[in-house]
Amino acid sequence: MLSLGACASFGAKPENVYHPLNYTEADAVNTELKRIDELLEKSSVEALWRCVLLKKSAEENGVLSTAEIDDKLNKCLEKVFF
């Protein structure tokens, strides 16, 4: 017979419990802006492309302030064309 009482973890509560992350729209935009910064050093054309997509998405989804996206877009344009 197998005794369940011999198991040391039986009834013990875990130390760390996984909680799913709750990303807001602002979190997604900030994450993408960081990714664009990283790409700007390696592949400025790809960074520009991602920034244009981010700007378009923000406008379509009614993000109120796109000032930070606009600043990043200007940096990308300067890096690619100047």
- Which residue did the predictor score with more confidence, 72 or 10? 72
Split at pLDDT 50, 70, 90, the class of 18 is: low
Between CA 51 and CA 30 the distance in angstroms is: 12
**How do residues 31-80 score in pLDDT, each as one tens digit?**
999 999 999 999 999 999 999 998 888 888 777 677 888 999 999 999 99
pLDDT for residue 51: 93
Between CA 22 and CA 1 the distance in angstroms is: 46
Give the pTM: 0.67
In the chain, count H helices and then E strands. Answer: 3, 0
Read off the tokens for 78: 């300067």
